[in-house]
Amino acid sequence: MKQHEQVLFKNRSPGETAFLETYRKSGGYQGLEKALTKMSPEQVREEVKKSGLRGRGGAGFATGMKWSFFPADKPGEKYLVCNGDEMEPGTYKDREILMADPHQLVEGMIISAYALQIPVGVIFIRYAYEQCSRNLERAIAEAMEAGLLGKNILKSDFSFELHLHRSAGRYICGEETALLNSLEGVRANPRSKPPFPAQKGIFGKPTNVNNVETFANVQHIIAHGSAWFKNLAFTESGSGTKLYCLSGHLERPECFELPIGISLGAVIEEYGGGVWRGRRFKAALPGGASTPYLTAEHLGVGLDFDPIEKAGSRLGTGAVTVFDETTCMVAATLNLNRFFARESCGWCTPCRDGLPFINWLLEKIENGQGEMGDIDMLREQIRNINGRTFCALAMGAMGPMQSLVDLFEEEIIDHIKKRCCPLKT
């Protein structure tokens, strides 16, 4: 495996967690010191904007642009929220950061809070991430004791308090307004937008929400500069590195930090060890369970937001799930859709009723009871859901569903004609 510069995984060591002493020896909190002593909040915001950092939680929205909507110069009650719920199948990168180096998130949030002039922050973490929670509690306590968090940080005029919230856990909490509802103690349904959280978020106050990996990049950008960050990428449109979670039919399923824009084929062959058991590659979800499949013709595509979108999919969370030649794509898609149907909050009809109906159709086809008209019905359901739901959950579910009927229609037809799953006979 070729070694690339490690930024987020610089202190990663098997079975160990880097706490304050190790983190500071590797340059930790230098970005915070630089921000507080040499930069204004506006300069920090501008540096993040110039870096080209895009959200690492799935949507890929430009972080600097998102920050520009926030009323940073407006005094009063404001909140910074980190989304650490991470419940999309195949995605485990945030867990890896928090297991290896939790101070990265703490420092990134402090700098972000300074940039946006926010006095209070909350880390919303998945209930199952118990060890990650303990790591964060220790990191927060260490930062407080060292004067890096709390009142008058590093003897400056800036103060920031940071709290950890263990969530009850639902995939819908990946939608930022559903997350805010959950933090307020009400049902985790998404909110109508506008107003957006930057204007009216938690408790009706301006709120900025970003992902663990997104915040963890901020201090590195401030410490080393936006030009350095942009040059880490392999593609002109990209910036920085990316944590790619490999899973599925691979010899080496693991999480790797690689330059953004590295090709899908290189990730699979050089880092994932190739398709397991000597079998051939059939398809992959390039960015998590809610992204459309890519096939062998796409192995040269760079895993960056723009190139992968041109190929007909999304980078999403960067979670690459590989399927070998023995995989039934109908069964694989049914498995994914069952997850999304179960995780629906039930707020809107296309999601609440449409996803279970798609399950019923796919189950018919997979069990040998399908009819040719079911394919048209699947396409109709995709049209009824896309662009017509309250949030992006059901539209995300339609990513693999749409690519199933577009790329593997012949496989669906074989199920119907042979009255069974051809790969199970």
> What tens digit of pLDDT does each residue of 235-248 get?
988 999 999 999 99
Which residue in 302, 310, 355 sits closest to 333, CA to CA? 355
Contact call for residues 83 and 212 (beta carbons, < 8 A): yes
Percentages of the chain per state (helix, strand, coil), in multiples of 5: 45, 15, 40
Q: With respect to residue 360, please indicate whether it lies within any of the assigned structural domains.
A: yes
Residues 319 and 333 in one domain: no
Q: Is residue 12 part of a domain?
A: no
Does the reported pTM lie above 0.85? yes
Domain harbouring 317, CATH code: 3.10.20.600
pLDDT for 325:
96
Among 324, 353, 375, residue at a domain's last position: 324
> Which residue, 176, 196, 231, sits at the end of a domain?
231
Pair 109, 222: CB distance under 8 Å: no
**313: number of CA atoms within 13 Å, CB side?**
33
User: Which stretches of 127-241 are DSSP H helices?
Assistant: 130-145, 176-183, 212-224, 226-231
Half-sphere exposure of 151 (CA within 13 A, CB side): 0
Same domain flag for 180 and 290 = no
Per-residue pLDDT of 133-178, as tens digits, reads: 999 999 999 999 999 999 999 999 999 999 999 988 789 998 999 9
Provide the domain limits for residue 96: 20-231
In this predicted structure, what is the pLDDT of residue 384?
93
Q: How many CB atoms lie within 10 A of CB 386?
A: 15
In this structure, is residue 8 part of a structural domain? no
CA distance 14 to 406: 41
Tell me, what's the pLDDT at 1? Answer: 67
Which portions of the chain are predicted below pLDDT 50?
none
The answer on 64 and 176 residing in a single domain is: yes
Give residues with Cβ within 8 angstroms of 74, minimum separation 6: 206
CATH number of the domain enclosing 349:
1.20.1440.230
Instruction: Answer yes or no: do 49 and 184 share one domain.
Output: yes
Do 245 and 185 have their domain in common? no
Same domain (yes/no): 307, 342: no
Identify whether residues 311 and 398 lie together within a single domain: no
**Is the same domain home to 70 and 168?**
yes
Nearest to 219 by CA among 51, 86, 368, 83: 51
CATH number reported for the structural domain that contains residue 218 in this entry: 3.40.50.11540
Number of domains in the chain: 3
